[in-house]
Amino acid sequence: MADNIIEIRDMKVKYGVHEAVHGVCMDIAEGAITAIIGSNGAGKTTIINALSGTVRREGEIHYKGKPLTPKAHRVVHEGIVQVPEGRRIFPGLSVEENLLLGAYTIRDRKLIEKLLKDQFRIFPRLEERRKQDAGTLSGGEQQMLAISRGLMSNPRVLMLDEPSLGLAPVIVDDVFKHIQRIRDEGVTVILVEQNAKKSLCTCDYSYVIENGRKVMEGKGQDLLRNDEVNRVYLGADRDCQWDPMQDTPQ
Amino acid sequence: MSIQLLISGISLGAVYALVAVGFAVVFSVMKFSNFAHGGMISACAYAAFYFQRAFTPPPPIYITILFSAAFGVLLSLVIDTIAYRRLRTKQSPNIYYFLASITMSILIVNFLTIFYGKNLYAFPPIFSSTTFHIGSIRFSSMDTLILLISLGILAILVFFIDKTRVGLAIRSVAINPQVSKLMGINPDVTIMTVFAIAGALAGISGVLLAMKLSVYPTLGSQMMIKGFVASVIGGLGSLSGAIIAAIFLGIFEIFLTFYLGSLSTPIVLFGAMLVFLAVRPSGIAGRFAQEKV
Ligand SMILES: Nc1ncnc2c1ncn2[C@@H]1O[C@H](COP(=O)(O)OP(=O)(O)O)[C@@H](O)[C@H]1O
Ligand SMILES: [Mg+2]
């Protein structure tokens, strides 16, 4: 298995006096999908915001063997990009301008052109609407735009916060397929989800977070078979009827 | 007759537009009306006046404009540093910015009054003849020069905001500074850029107003009120709205002054603003401005 691109050691996050994440340790394997699952309010968003540098943290984060900068905009320049919960595209700007903002850290115009073409190839929808106000897109289209905007920075690590939230089931399947395709192209993915089952079917490795603590970890397939995980997150239904690998090209 | 009036009105409106846009660009990102802008315009007018007089023969006008713009950038960044930056780090409510900006404006005007008195200083003439003719129509050299410079600067600004990478970053920070960070943008740098732009605009409009009117401590504050009216009518924070509103305001004012006299004109102008606010509070640019608040 590949090396760890990110190592999180004893990380704590406080909101005022209230501590939301209590000393978490995690390893993120390079080129893999690592899922972070857990119920609402568990601290998943807080963990990736701490990685992004948008909240203050204690403890250590090593990225490619070196301490990771705590400054949010620098983190993006280093190659770690977050696609935030609720998509957060820029309304009032066109689809194309949203994508160009994703490429803000890139100075090479040819590379930006290439990345833009890549996004349009994967989502022709976005090309059809490139001049349209991004705020007028449907929820599913906005999610595609948000992921594409993240990819426009040509990231080493892409963090996705609840990408399936509020989307119709067919579109959710598309999103998860797309996430695997991103991994297959060599990008390390950190996937935060409440949709535990699909995440465990999709990911290579997973952490389970509850009340700001890591309560379990393991390979996706192993956790799917774990009784505790089944009881709390999956209910009786423990098979991967939906197998994303069937649909992935190659 | 009315062609000259129209040119003169558009010329006045174009200067208002420079003022209004300096206002609007700060409002769009910071969500507060930077009343220090008026003080900056006055200070820049004095700086340009003394710069112009310091050399014999006086430097060409474009050098003075460049100097004044640079002075404005510096002054604007200093004001940001001493008046606003701490409010930003503390995430203070808007009323603090309002107070800080009014205070800065009053301070600047008082400093200028202490050092230079309330006298009017006439800007050295830059044209040998105050008018020129095309065919049978007579044009004011000053109005025409001011019009060309203002429109040129506005065009550059609109291009910069709409078409460049930094302009796009400014628009994204105006919409959402937190998400902009996730794009790799440093909002602190963007905000400083915005203050630098506002300062440059204050510097340029300071010279133009000094040439057109003369130099006195409240020059900027008077003009700022017009710029403020234009940026409100245009839809706070909208550049194109502010430009359009300012130019109409200039034309309106010149014609009103011609037909009603300079005493009743302000009453009509402010009356029009009140009506506009009642009828269409989001301004000409409507939708755009709503997103920002
Ligand atoms: N900005 C904030 N200020 C104060 N408390 C917060 C803030 N964001 C999250 N929290 C709290 O931190 C805990 C974890 O939240 P979050 O990381 O958003 O959970 P999740 O993403 O797993 O649903 C919750 O108790 C939440 O109320
Ligand atoms: Mg969350």
Domain ranges of chain A: 1-79+155-240, 88-154
Helix (H) or strand (E) holding A4: strand A4-15
**φ and ψ of B152, to 5 deg:** -60, -50
pLDDT of residue A249: 43
- Contact assessment for residue A212 and residue A39, using Cβ atoms and an 8 Å cutoff: no
pTM of the model: 0.90
Element at B48 (helix H, strand E)? helix B36-54
> Along chain B (293 residues), what's the average pLDDT of each consecutive run of 10 residues?
84 93 90 93 96 91 96 98 93 91 94 92 82 84 92 95 95 95 96 97 96 92 88 81 91 90 84 81 55 33
Residue B135: predicted pLDDT: 82
Q: Which residues on A lie below 8 Å from B173 (Cβ)?
A: none
Give residue-wise pLDDT tens across range B120-175.
988 888 887 788 888 888 888 888 999 999 999 999 999 999 999 999 999 999 99
pLDDT tens for B119-135 read: 898 888 888 778 888 88
Assigned token pair, B212: 């057109």
Q: Starting at the earlier edge strand, list the strands of the sheet with A33-37.
A: A80-83, A157-161, A188-193, A33-37, A205-210, A213-219
**Domains of chain B, residue spans:** 2-123+140-279
Collapsing DSSP to helix, strand or coil, A1 comes out as coil
- Our CA-based measurement puts residue B183 at a distance from the nearest CA of chain A, in whole angstroms, of 5
- pLDDT tens-digit map of A116-171: 999 999 999 999 999 999 999 998 899 999 999 999 999 999 999 999 988 888 88
Burial of B293 (0-12, 13-18, 19+ CB in 10 A): exposed
Report the CATH fold assignment for A1-79+155-240: Rossmann fold (3.40.50)
Report the topology of domain B2-123+140-279.
ABC transporter involved in vitamin B12 uptake, BtuC (1.10.3470)
**What letter does residue A134 receive in the DSSP assignment?**
G
**pLDDT computed for residue B287 by the predictor:** 44
Q: How many CB atoms lie within 10 A of CB B258?
A: 15
From the list A76, A90, A92, which residue is nearest B184 (CB)?
A: A76
pLDDT score at A23: 93
Q: Which residue has tokens 């990380």?
A: A11
- Pick from A15, A191, A192, A215 the residue to mutate for probing ligand 1's pocket: most ligand atoms within 8 Å of its CB: A15
What burial letters (b/e) apply to B91-114, b meaning 16+ CB within 10 Å? eeeeeebeebbbebbeebbeebee
**Contact A84 CB / ligand 1 (< 6 Å):** no
Assess contact for A164 and A147: CB atoms under 8 A: no
For residue B36, the model assigns a pLDDT of 95
Low-confidence ranges of chain A (pLDDT < 70): 1-2, 235-250
